[in-house]
Amino acid sequence: MASSNVPDDVAFICSVCLEPYKGRNPKLLPCFHTLCLPCLKDLEKHHMELSPDTTVSEEDIEENRPLTFPCPTCRAVIKVPAGGVTQFQTNFYLNKNTVTCNICDRGEDAVSTCTECGDNLCVTCQRYHNKFLSNHQVQPLNFNSMQASKVNIQPVKEGTIAEQLAVLEAALVTMREEEDTMQWERQAMADVISSRADTVRALVTQAEERSQRLLAEIAERLDKQIQEKIITVRDRHCRIWQLSSQGGTKGELTSVPSLEQTALLTDDDVQMYKQQCSRGRQLQTLLHQFDDSAINMQVIEAYIGTASSGIQYTGEDSSSLLSAVTCSETRPLEKQVSDTPLTSLPSDMTKVTRDIADIKDKLAALETVTSRLDKQQRAVLQLEDLKEENSNLQSQVVSLREADSRMQENMDTLELNVEEIRGDFSTLQKDITNMEHEFQAMKSINLLQNDVDSSQQESLLIETETKKLQDAAEELSKGFNTFKASNMVAFNARLHKDSLAQEVILSKVDCNVGQAYDDTTGIFTVPVTGIYFFMARAMAVDEPRDFYLDIIVDDERAAESGSCDGEPFRGMTCTVHLVQKLIQGQKYEMIQQSDKQSPRRTERD
């Protein structure tokens, strides 16, 4: 018998979205498959009979609710209730079988349990538990481990378990063979009954129906007994398998005294199932009983044939089963049909008619039972296919979980690499900062070097200008000496009143040699070509003000001077002078400037 190593917690995952049922309101379909409510709503919306250009809304779902949709697992046609998919029965069994982590306070679902600590662990807590308590044994948490997590587990004998599992598996195979044999024998017996009844159909229809009804009842009862036995054996097989090394977690025997008492077979049970296996296909499940010489109702029923059970299980109440009746004749059924006596008919035709009606009822009941058994047989085949498909899906889920575990390990490695990269990046930032400081220092050095070069160039320019000034001073000194030795033009004048005008006109002229200064216009006209020296001084007498003096030659400024560059004060002066070679006829004048006109006293020599 095939077994699966897939964890039982796959049963708590929706087969469509692969999400746990917890919090998603699992619904039980009529085909006994379970889907979560969001997936059912998606299926309902997907199978709505709407036009392609219609926008689906909640009102559309209510008005255009689909009558049926196929089950995603078994493809059975599911009829939607009047209130929608929310009206399906809630699977409270799956909704309640969830365990939360009792280590953290986040309420996460537990996925494993520690056999040493006795705690249920979520994914995060299991990771840290494996790091700090690596010597503890952690097992995956499934429904069986939930029920037995706090029970002291005791081992049982492996040989006894293996023997009983083999006996149960063989018994199941034999029971299936008996079921097939019963179906074949029932069909064969039904054909014989129909053939025999056809020979006297006009007179024995009622007896035929009664016989067929009796056959249906016996076959249905026998089939029910066989199904109950199969279910019982499967349940015993499942519980004993859980005690074995294959059914336990990680190769350990998982059993408790109470489970051992209820799961393991007694010696009588083992002997019974062994006898069941030894009978095999030689056992006849249905026996056909008939009597060719019967001429009354009992004779007609005996002629048509009655069905009885040919199986008696050891340890069962014999009164609950039909006793086996052997055939009254050893001839083949075909020969018995051909040898049917047609001359011995009952005289009571009314009774025969009533018996014929009973036989017709039995035939109809037999056909109903046959149809139902065929449907059950197809359902069993579909169930086997679904089990195999479910096993494949569980294997795929295990593979996905292994892939998820490997991905988690890769993520941990990636986190370590990211931490190393962050450290390297911090060191690189420090190096960049140091390089920036060094670059700023080098830039400052370059600026200083440029300043030194500029200072050197300016020093050379100053030296050149100084040399030029020295040459000009020597030339001026020579010219001045020559001027003093030949002719001299001089004037000295004063202005002893406040002046607000820009052009300064000196009122009191003390000396005017050569008559070159005009005291009405304040303009000095150069009488002869030569080197002239001019000097003027002004003083603030009332309040401190900033003021300036300019010497203008031919409408161009030749010299200028200001009072001071700092804070103005009363009594400060401003002196301007000019030594320049002038040509005869050039005009000389003096102009004062101020931001605010203030009284000044100007003295000119």
CATH at 577: 2.60.120.40
The per-residue pLDDT for range 9-47, each reduced to its tens digit, is: 455 788 888 888 777 888 888 888 888 999 998 888 887
Same domain as 590, residue 495:
yes
15 in a structural domain: yes
For residue 222, with 0-12 CB atoms within 10 Å meaning exposed, 13-18 middle and 19 or more buried, which class applies? buried
Query: What local confidence, expressed as pLDDT, does residue 379 receive?
Result: 77
Determine if the pTM surpasses 0.75: no
430 in a structural domain: no
Query: What local confidence, expressed as pLDDT, does residue 328 receive?
Result: 35
Query: What local confidence, expressed as pLDDT, does residue 338 receive?
Result: 38
The answer to whether 134 and 165 are in contact (CB under 8 A) is no
Beta strands 491-494 and 508-512: pairing type?
A: antiparallel
Last residue within a domain, chosen from 213, 243, 273: 243
Same domain as 572, residue 509:
yes
341 in a structural domain: no
Same domain as 109, residue 204:
no
Same domain as 71, residue 18:
yes
CA dihedral 122, 127, 131, 132 (to 10 degrees): -20
Same domain as 180, residue 121:
no
Q: Which structural domain range is residue 91 located in?
A: 7-49+65-97
Q: What is the mean pLDDT of the chain?
A: 72
Q: Is the pLDDT of residue 336 over 50?
A: no
28-37, 302-311, 539-548: the lowest-pLDDT one: 302-311
DSSP 323-370: PP---S--S-HHHHHHT--SS---S-HHHHHHHHHHHHHHHHHHHHHH
Same domain as 188, residue 127:
no
Domains contained in the chain, number: 4
Mean pLDDT of 75-81: 86
Half-sphere exposure of 514 (CA within 13 A, CB side): 15
The per-residue pLDDT for range 341-380, each reduced to its tens digit, is: 433 334 445 665 666 767 777 777 777 777 777 777 777 7
Query: What local confidence, expressed as pLDDT, does residue 39 receive?
Result: 92
Query: What local confidence, expressed as pLDDT, does residue 199 receive?
Result: 65
User: In which band, very low, low, confident or very high, does the pLDDT at 259 lie, cut at 50, 70 and 90?
Assistant: low
603 in a structural domain: no
Query: What local confidence, expressed as pLDDT, does residue 7 receive?
Result: 42
The CATH number assigned to the domain holding 75 equals 3.30.40.10
Same domain as 92, residue 107:
no
CA distance 492 to 517: 9
Q: What percent of the chain has pLDDT over 70?
A: 64
